[in-house]
């Protein structure tokens, strides 16, 4: 299994920064209110100057984050900070965060989400509109589909996945659905098929007549597979589907010569080739790699691959984010390793 990194395109503004992911607790630790800043001795003039100079990012009314910390985050973390800022501004009990904004509170991945307005549903709203970077949607949500996550009202996990599945790009939607299904139906590396089927059926019950994007949502939910551990693997599956490649297994176990157990992201049975999606953080991020250094991580992976090749006789294909941007690019990459689309 490779450790994922997000869209390399986000690195273009600050290519020297290694991006990281944050959870709700960490995001709250980064947020600074106007009152906190003034209370620490910062003057009104200094606050305005820091924002103008780009040293401080104004997220929403009265909420800020240090620019250096902001630029270290992936899209999901940046959006989570904006959600917290909108929540901190407060607009009554009626606000509920939806779609991508609910997804980041739940900690779900959103591949290549880019910068988006904060998504909300406000009770009493008659028409959808965008104000100050916040979308106020005209949508009806049952009370059963509204929950609180650490004091923040959001759509339930099921409703969130459904809304993302019907409105986001296919790559974003599948990555989000795979991650949600993994939470409810996967133990270790194995998915419980009965639980997965029940989850799909329950989620599709939200498909009200006339609701936009239901056809895509149905496709995403049927296609979802919780064994895909990271967004890069999910998007790889999308591109394989577009290529017409369906003869493969996910998270295949191989026992090495000395009894070590390995898990492989993909196994293309017809070609007798294992496939691994390799995010660069697998080797460069000290918090995520198992080895002490990048050099040792590369050597450890080589030993692992040699052991797998030796006991199986299968080939090995590796690809990264640059190869899953389109189906054609991934197809050319796999062809070099003997994995061919049908026909």
Q: At what angle do helices 170-185 and 231-243 cross, to 10 degrees?
A: 120
The residue ranges of every structural domain in the chain are 232-335
What pLDDT score does 290 carry? 60
What does the pLDDT average to over 36-65? 95
Say if residues 232 and 279 touch (Cβ distance below 8 Å): yes
What pLDDT score does 29 carry? 96
What pLDDT score does 85 carry? 96
C-alpha–C-alpha distance, residues 221 and 184, integer Å = 14
C-alpha–C-alpha distance, residues 92 and 89, integer Å = 10
C-alpha–C-alpha distance, residues 133 and 163, integer Å = 20
What pLDDT score does 279 carry? 63
Q: What is the pLDDT of residues 236-261, one digit of tens each?
A: 999 999 999 999 999 999 999 999 99
pTM: 0.87
pLDDT band at 3 (very low <50, low <70, confident <90, very high): very low
Decide if pLDDT at 7 tops 60: no
Compute how many other C-beta atoms are within 10 angstroms of the C-beta atom of residue 53: 9
Decide if pLDDT at 71 tops 80: yes
What pLDDT score does 136 carry? 86
- Residue 53 CA from chain centroid, whole number: 31
pLDDT band at 4 (very low <50, low <70, confident <90, very high): very low
What does the pLDDT average to over 150-172? 96
Q: What is the CATH number of domain 232-335?
A: 3.40.960.10
Q: What is the pLDDT of residues 123-151, one digit of tens each?
A: 655 555 667 779 888 788 899 999 999 99
Mean per-residue pLDDT over the chain, rounded: 88
Residue 85, burial from CB neighbour count under 10 angstroms (0-12, 13-18, 19+): buried
What pLDDT score does 9 carry? 44
What does the pLDDT average to over 284-310? 75
pLDDT band at 5 (very low <50, low <70, confident <90, very high): very low
What does the pLDDT average to over 74-82? 96
């Amino acid at each position: 299994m490779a450790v994922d990194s997000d869209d390399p395109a986000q690195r273009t503004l600050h290519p020297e920064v290694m991006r990281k992911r944050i959870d709700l607790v960490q995001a709250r630790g980064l947020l600074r209110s106007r009152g906190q800043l003034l209370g620490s001795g910062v003057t009104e003039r200094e606050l305005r100057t820091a924002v103008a100079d780009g040293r401080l990012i104004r997220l929403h009314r009265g909420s800020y984050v240090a620019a250096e910390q902001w630029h270290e985050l992936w899209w999901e973390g940046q959006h989570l900070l904006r959600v917290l800022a909108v929540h901190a501004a407060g607009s009554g009990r009626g606000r509920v965060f939806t779609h991508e904004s609910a997804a980041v509170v739940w900690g779900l991945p959103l591949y290549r989400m880019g910068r988006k307005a904060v998504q909300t549903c406000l009770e009493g709203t008659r028409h959808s509109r965008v104000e100050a970077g916040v979308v106020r949607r005209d949508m009806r949500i049952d009370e059963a589909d509204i929950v609180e996550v650490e004091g923040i009202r959001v759509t339930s996990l099921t409703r969130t996945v459904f809304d993302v599945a019907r409105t986001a790009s296919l790559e974003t939607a599948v990555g989000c659905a795979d991650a949600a299904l993994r939470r409810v139906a996967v133990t270790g590396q194995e998915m419980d098929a009965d639980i997965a089927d029940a989850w799909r059926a329950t989620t599709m019950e939200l498909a009200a007549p006339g609701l936009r994007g239901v056809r895509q949502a149905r496709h995403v939910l049927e296609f979802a597979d919780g064994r895909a551990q990271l967004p890069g693997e999910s998007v790889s599956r999308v591109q394989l589907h577009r290529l017409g490649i369906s003869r493969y297994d996910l998270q295949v176990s191989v026992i090495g010569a000395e009894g070590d157990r390995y898990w492989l992201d993909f196994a293309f049975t017809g070609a007798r080739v294992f496939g691994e999606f390799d995010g660069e953080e697998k080797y460069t991020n000290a918090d995520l790699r198992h080895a002490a250094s990048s050099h040792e991580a590369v050597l450890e992976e080589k030993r692992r691959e040699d052991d797998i090749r030796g006991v199986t006789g299968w080939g090995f294909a590796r690809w990264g984010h640059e190869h899953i941007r389109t189906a054609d690019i991934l197809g050319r990459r796999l062809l070099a390793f003997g994995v061919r689309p049908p026909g």
